[in-house]
Structure 1
Amino acid sequence: MKKIAAKTVSKGSTIRLLFLLCTIPVLMIVGCASRPDFSQIPSEIARDPTVAAPYRIENGDTLLVKFPYTDRHDEEVIVQPDGLIVLGVTGEVKAAGLTTVELEEAIRSASSKRLRDPQVFVTVKSSAQKVYVGGEVKTAGFVPFRENLTPLQAVFERGGLSSFTII
């Protein structure tokens, strides 16, 4: 009976060894056969989550448009409800939905009809994004929204908690 058990174990070990010898090369071939195509990943997924997306200009934003070599054309403008801004040197330019870099290029292109090799810098002076803080605060009202604004910071920007607040 001991010989039979030994033969069975020996036969089982041989089968396992044979299985491993056949399986490992197959897995190695399959694993090396194809590589994933990362170029097909949508940019929203592939983007690094720690890097913020560039700010997109919105209706109501206040912008500073500077022409460094021709200061007389510098302007502070508010993006109109239709998404346009009006500059003296260019006329109407679509701003809503663009980043500052994209708007700079649009203004540069439009102003090149009147200016030679124009240089333009656009800065968002104030954003139209606001949050309303109400309830048991000293002064209810809107607070300009900014990235990483916490509810507590918004409450303190409106004067803090009222004297009737129970904590």
Structure 2
Amino acid sequence: MRSFRSFTVLAVVATLAGCAGPRAVPPQLAAAFDEPYVLASGDKLRVNVFGQQNLSNSYAVEPDGSIAMPLVGRYKVDGKTSDQVRAGLEAKLKSGFLRDPNVSVEIESYRPFFILGEVTTAGQYPYVAGMTAQNAVAIASGFTPRATRDRVEITRRLSDRVYKAEVPLTYPIRPGDTITVQERWF
């Protein structure tokens, strides 16, 4: 009789633990959406130098966080906004190559996001502006029958730190995020 009670209490505790809501989102993770987008490896930029057809081109951000551009050479863009890159390229070109360069920098494509766990087709997918975790699950062909369907875990790198948090499906994601869909217990 005593073991039956212990088993019943254990079953109730396990059930309630599975029903617990998502943990609070770390403030750093939530604040990341108020900050301007910073570039990283995997992004692709469109750089236009007005009046200079040979310099205007698409440039991929390499694994070391830089782009390779004629006259400028390797230029570090990792951790910078597109406006900071524009100003830096103008300064580089002005310091000996062009009299008054006019540069524009646009993000041509974002680095991918990753989704794994209890989704039909886990993997790496291209990021689309304005995505939520629910959109990411839909791109991965939906939940498996065993998936937790009300929250996901997001892993995000900000500067030199990595943050993990359980978030609702309506939570916005960013390029480079890893989304994990957990298995439900019952």
Q: Which band: TM-score by shorter chain?
A: 0.5 to 0.7
Q: 1:121 is matched with which residue: 75, 81, 104? A: 104
Partner of 1:107: 89
* Off by >4 Å, runs of 4+ in structure 1: 145-148
Listed as ranges, the gaps of 5+ residues in structure 1 are 1-48
Q: 1:135 is matched with which residue: 114, 118, 122? A: 118
How far off is 1:132 after superposition?
A: 1.6
Q: 1:58 is matched with which residue: 36, 40, 61? A: 40
Residue identity matched to 1:115: L
| Cα distance change, pair 156–64 in 1 and its aligned pair in 2 (3 A) | same
How far off is 1:74 after superposition?
A: 0.9
How far off is 1:81 after superposition?
A: 2.1
Structure showing greater relative contact order (alpha-carbon pairs closer than 8 Å, 6 or more residues apart):
2
Partner of 2:69: 87
Residue identity matched to 1:157: I
| Cα distance change, pair 134–100 in 1 and its aligned pair in 2 (3 A) | same
Identity %: 27
Listed as ranges, the gaps of 5+ residues in structure 2 are 1-30, 150-186
Equivalent position SS for 1:159: coil
Q: CA RMSD in A?
A: 2.8
TM-score, scaled to structure 1 = 0.59
> How many pairs were matched up?
117
TM-score, scaled to structure 2 = 0.53
**Structure with the greater alpha carbon radius of gyration:** 1
Pick the structure with more strand per residue: 2
- Distance, in Å, in 2 between the alignment partners of 1:73 and 1:143 is 30
